[in-house]
């Protein structure tokens, strides 16, 4: 089993002897000295990119001398020339070249400016005129949980047709070794398929035969094949999973369809019963998932926790990778309340052992969320009716929020609908009278129907907004459920920005959306779903520069890291991506096809392809051999997929697929009757 290590030898450089520093931008720099930012010990990279340990210190010393005395700057570890750099620094939005010393950018400017940074041991990279952006920051992803199962999942992310998807399912069933299952765990949309529909149980059973199979559409529904029903022991007497309906046929036997009616808890519990890889293989899976993120230009994620993602046991794997210096992606994580009704006790227990800020730039705990109280949330899919939170919600949330803000814990809270946000804000305003909310960074997440009034209330308490492109996958369903007019403002990005609210963007991967950040950037710029349905009104579209800012600097600001990362500026962490295509020049619809050809985190190369492949670190081999990731890799890029064309594309939902909602079957759920919007299984 070949493992890739970031920490080859342990020669460390620190700047503890230089408590204050000046800007490294220019020898004649007149900037005032600033406090030295905290720097973790930098273990030299074994990737062949960075040079010997002492050089970083030399470079820094030279820069200090140069800045103060106009003497030439010392050598950099890395200089990147001939690039088109979008810095996301308003003072210098574009640049041509950059220099890196140790983990940080040392200089940004023109090719000529960089000459004095080049020494005999400096690694000089020719960007070949390509576009460079700050490393992308997914400000809301369920990364740690997703990493544990990434390699065993058959990911349909980007697959262009259901016909292709079913071929993948069939082939993977033939490969999969017992006791493992074939599993597709969200991240795709039926609208990305040319057929514009989900598979049927018959199709899934035909493709997978005797190999147990679990296919989940977002958090909406799961399909279990006959073999899975057998392994689980599901029969006519099996009760509905929590918050869900187990569909039964006329004879009373389960068909294999499980639909989330009131809570995603049932689907989560079902997936928990699918056999998992060993701890070692889960660690490999997490490394592969980080590398897949790096391939797409991501250098940081803010982890939103998740149901069943308990501290500390489900964080020990990622902590181990961090301790072994195997991180290639920076992770800031939030602790998600695990026990409905016992949320305060969860946080009281956790605050005994961990505090926000604990960790380092690779792995750091940053606060609470995205659930701090289960009762204060709303559905994860737009096709579900929204049941009002119980009346006890306000008093419970007051307790939990007062406790967290009092302890100085930043808060993130899931709120798709304004009806949820309104009640949360009622509570936070009350908390704010005793403990100022402005003492912590806090944000509402999703906010698809957040009203202008609620935006004002968020702004008044110094809050932030974190949106995600869930509409990319579930937008058609949103429009069917709530109407096209509501969809045009879901979310009302234009209004948020006009109000001056800080807005960061992310994905909400890996189940509620795909993890590909470029699908999200595409959505911000075009207002289109993965199924090419234009939903967002013009007033909610943003420029490419603004979209990039929401995916970089605004994400950093959510965790209080805006002075450390999120833009390409001297003194910030050297995280950037060299792109496959010019993000600023490609046709809008091609934004979603962009990848990175070179990704650098903290001055170390974590991904390289094409002309930059030689720069890339060793490949991590997924184990065991039968894993789908060994065959399909990660996201199925449109232009490179080379997959068979679908035999024929069906029309959109409603175009002959069903007789309309009047004929949709009624399912008797555990909280009343519930009806699918249509019987065709395209919801
Ligand atoms: Zn959420
Ligand atoms: Zn989430
Ligand atoms: Zn239909």
- Distance (angstroms) between ligand 2 centre and the Cα of 285 equals 20
- Distance (angstroms) between ligand 1 centre and the Cα of 444 equals 10
- Distance (angstroms) between ligand 1 centre and the Cα of 41 equals 35
- Distance (angstroms) between ligand 3 centre and the Cα of 541 equals 29
Region 673-681: mean pLDDT is 34
Phi, psi (degrees; rounded to nearest 5) at 570: -55, 135
Q: Which pLDDT belongs to residue 99?
A: 98
- Distance (angstroms) between ligand 3 centre and the Cα of 168 equals 25
* Higher-scoring residue by pLDDT: 653, 217: 217
**Ligand found nearest the CA of 515:** 2
Is residue 27 within 8 Å of 71, Cβ to Cβ? yes
Q: Which pLDDT belongs to residue 49?
A: 34
Please report the ipTM that was assigned to this predicted complex. 0.72
Instruction: Quick: pLDDT tens for 448-480.
Output: 999 999 999 999 999 999 999 999 999 999 999
- Distance (angstroms) between ligand 2 centre and the Cα of 305 equals 8
Instruction: Quick: pLDDT tens for 567-587.
Output: 999 999 999 999 999 999 999
**Domain map (residue ranges) of the chain:** 7-133, 141-275+643-675, 280-598
Within 8 A by CB and 6+ apart from 267, the residues are: 216, 219, 221, 222, 241, 244, 258, 260
Return the CATH class of domain 7-133.
Answer: mainly beta
Confidence of residue 262 (pLDDT cuts 50, 70, 90): confident
What residues sit around ligand 1, an ion, with C-beta below 5 angstroms?
370, 414
CATH 3.10.620.30 for domain 141-275+643-675? no
Residue 605 has pLDDT above 70, yes or no: yes
Q: Which pLDDT belongs to residue 74?
A: 79
Region 614-640: mean pLDDT is 88
**Is 93 in a helix, a strand, or coil?**
coil
**Ligand found nearest the CA of 661:** 3
- Distance (angstroms) between ligand 2 centre and the Cα of 400 equals 19
**Ligand found nearest the CA of 413:** 1
Confidence of residue 73 (pLDDT cuts 50, 70, 90): low
- Distance (angstroms) between ligand 2 centre and the Cα of 371 equals 9
Percent of the chain surpassing pLDDT 90: 79
Q: Which pLDDT belongs to residue 456?
A: 98
Tokens coding 491: 């979310």
Confidence of residue 663 (pLDDT cuts 50, 70, 90): very low
- Distance (angstroms) between ligand 2 centre and the Cα of 591 equals 24
- Distance (angstroms) between ligand 1 centre and the Cα of 186 equals 14
- Distance (angstroms) between ligand 2 centre and the Cα of 616 equals 31
Q: How far apart are CA 30 and CA 211, in angstroms?
A: 68
- Distance (angstroms) between ligand 3 centre and the Cα of 603 equals 51
Is residue 551 within 8 Å of 521, Cβ to Cβ? yes
Q: Which pLDDT belongs to residue 369?
A: 98
Nearest to 617 by CA among 4, 50, 9: 4
**Ligand found nearest the CA of 446:** 1
Beta bridge partners of 348: none
Within 8 A by CB and 6+ apart from 623, the residues are: 1, 280, 281, 284
Q: How far apart are CA 376 and CA 392, in angstroms?
A: 10
- Distance (angstroms) between ligand 2 centre and the Cα of 349 equals 23
Q: Which pLDDT belongs to residue 639?
A: 64
Confidence of residue 621 (pLDDT cuts 50, 70, 90): confident
Instruction: Quick: pLDDT tens for 401-458.
Output: 999 999 999 999 999 999 999 999 999 999 999 999 999 999 999 999 999 999 999 9
**Ligand found nearest the CA of 372:** 1
- Distance (angstroms) between ligand 3 centre and the Cα of 71 equals 72
CATH tag for 280-598 (out of 3.40.50.1820, 3.40.1160.10, 1.25.40.340, 3.20.20.140)? 3.20.20.140
Within 8 A by CB and 6+ apart from 78, the residues are: 49, 50, 99, 100, 122, 123, 124, 125, 574, 600, 603
Residue 385 has pLDDT above 80, yes or no: yes
Confidence of residue 638 (pLDDT cuts 50, 70, 90): confident
Confidence of residue 224 (pLDDT cuts 50, 70, 90): very high
* Higher-scoring residue by pLDDT: 24, 145: 145
Region 44-62: mean pLDDT is 32
Q: How far apart are CA 327 and CA 291, in angstroms?
A: 9
Phi, psi (degrees; rounded to nearest 5) at 430: -70, -45
Question: Looking only at Cα atoms, what is the longest distance across the chain?
Answer: 87
What DSSP line would sit under 206-271, residue for residue?
HHHTTS-EEEEETTTEEEE-HHHHHHHT--TTPPPPTTEEEEE-TTS-EEEEEEESS-THHHHHHH
Region 340-344: mean pLDDT is 96
Instruction: Quick: pLDDT tens for 112-171.
Output: 999 999 999 999 999 999 999 999 999 999 999 999 999 999 999 999 999 999 999 999
**Ligand found nearest the CA of 512:** 2
- Distance (angstroms) between ligand 1 centre and the Cα of 277 equals 26
Instruction: Quick: pLDDT tens for 520-560.
Output: 999 999 999 999 999 999 999 999 999 999 999 999 999 99
Q: Which pLDDT belongs to residue 128?
A: 96
Any alpha helices (H) in 340-469, and if so which ranges? Answer: 343-350, 393-406, 418-434, 452-460
Q: How far apart are CA 205 and CA 227, in angstroms?
A: 8
Q: What H or E segment, with its residue span, contains residue 471?
A: helix 470-482
**Ligand found nearest the CA of 657:** 3
**Ligand found nearest the CA of 682:** 3
Same fold, 7-133 and 280-598: no
Q: What H or E segment, with its residue span, contains residue 683?
A: none
Q: Which pLDDT belongs to residue 6?
A: 30
Q: How far apart are CA 469 and CA 480, in angstroms?
A: 17
Establish whether the linkage from the previous residue to 425 is cis, with ω within 30° of 0: no
What DSSP line would sit under 312-331, residue for residue?
TGGGHHHHHHHHTT--SSEE
């Amino acid at each position: 089993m070949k493992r890739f290590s970031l920490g080859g030898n342990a020669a460390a450089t620190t700047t503890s002897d230089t408590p204050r520093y000046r800007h490294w931008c220019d020898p004649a720099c007149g900037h005032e000295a600033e406090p030295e930012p905290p720097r973790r010990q930098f273990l030299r990279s074994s990737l062949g990119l960075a040079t010997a340990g002492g050089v970083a210190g030399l470079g820094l010393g030279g820069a200090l001398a140069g800045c103060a005395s106009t003497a030439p700057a010392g050598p950099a570890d890395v200089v990147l020339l001939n690039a088109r750099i979008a810095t996301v620094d308003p003072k210098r939005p574009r640049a041509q070249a950059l220099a890196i010393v140790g983990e940080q950018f040392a200089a940004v400017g023109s090719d000529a400016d960089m000459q004095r940074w080049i020494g005999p041991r400096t690694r000089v990279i020719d960007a070949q005129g390509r576009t460079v952006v700050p490393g992308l920051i997914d400000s809301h992803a369920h990364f740690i949980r997703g990493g544990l199962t990434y390699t065993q999942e058959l990911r349909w992310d980007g697959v262009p047709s259901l016909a292709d998807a079913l071929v993948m399912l069939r082939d993977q069933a033939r490969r999969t070794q017992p006791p493992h299952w074939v599993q597709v765990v969200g991240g795709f949309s039926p609208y990305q398929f040319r057929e514009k529909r989900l598979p049927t149980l018959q199709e899934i059973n035909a493709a997978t035969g005797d190999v147990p199979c679990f296919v989940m559409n977002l958090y909406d529904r799961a399909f279990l094949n006959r073999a899975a029903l057998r392994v689980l022991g599901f029969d006519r007497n099996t009760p509905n999973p929590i918050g869900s309906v187990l569909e039964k046929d006329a004879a009373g036997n389960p068909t294999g369809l499980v639909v989330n009616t009131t809570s995603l808890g049932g689907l989560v519990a079902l997936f928990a019963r699918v056999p998992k890889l060993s701890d070692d293989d889960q660690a490999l899976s997490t490394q592969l998932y980080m590398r897949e993120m790096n391939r797409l230009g991501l250098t940081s994620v803010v982890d939103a926790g998740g149901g069943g993602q308990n501290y500390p046991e489900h964080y020990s794997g990622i902590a181990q990778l961090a301790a072994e210096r195997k991180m290639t992606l920076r992770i800031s994580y939030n602790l998600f309340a695990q026990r409905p009704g016992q949320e305060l006790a969860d946080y009281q227990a956790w605050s005994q052992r961990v505090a926000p800020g604990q960790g380092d730039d690779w792995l750091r705990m940053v606060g609470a969320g995205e659930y701090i109280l289960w009762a204060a949330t709303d559905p994860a899919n737009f096709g579900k009716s929204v049941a009002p939170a119980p009346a006890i919600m306000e008093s419970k949330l007051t307790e939990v929020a007062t406790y967290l803000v009092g302890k100085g814990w930043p808060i993130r809270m899931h709120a798709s609908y304004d009806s949820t946000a309104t009640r949360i804000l009622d509570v936070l305003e009350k908390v704010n009278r005793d403990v100022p909310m402005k003492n912590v960074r806090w944000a509402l997440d999703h906010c698809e129907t957040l009203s202008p009034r609620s935006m004002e209330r968020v702004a008044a308490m110094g809050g932030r907004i974190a949106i995600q492109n869930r509409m990319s996958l579930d937008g058609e369903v949103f429009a069917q459920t709530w109407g096209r007019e509501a969809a045009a403002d879901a979310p009302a990005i234009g209004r948020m920005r006009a109000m001056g609210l800080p807005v960061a963007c992310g994905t909400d991967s890996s189940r509620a959306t795909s993890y590909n950040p470029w699908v999200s950037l595409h959505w911000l710029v075009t207002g289109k779903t993965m199924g090419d349905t234009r939903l967002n009104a013009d007033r909610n579209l943003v420029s490419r520069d603004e979209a990039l800012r929401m995916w970089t600097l605004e994400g950093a600001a959510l965790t209080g890291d805006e002075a450390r990362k999120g833009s390409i500026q001297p003194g910030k962490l050297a995280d950037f991506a060299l792109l496959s295509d010019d993000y600023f020049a490609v046709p809008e619809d091609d934004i979603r096809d962009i990848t990175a050809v070179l990704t650098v985190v903290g001055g170390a190369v974590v991904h390289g392809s094409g002309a930059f492949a030689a720069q890339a670190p060793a490949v991590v081999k997924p184990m065991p051999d039968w894993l789908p990731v060994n065959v399909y890799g990660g996201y199925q890029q449109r232009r490179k997929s080379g997959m068979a064309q679908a035999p024929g594309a069906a029309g959109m939902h409603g175009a002959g697929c069903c007789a309309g909602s009047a004929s949709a079957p009624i399912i008797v759920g555990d909280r009343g009757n519930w009806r699918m919007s249509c019987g065709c299984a395209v919801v």
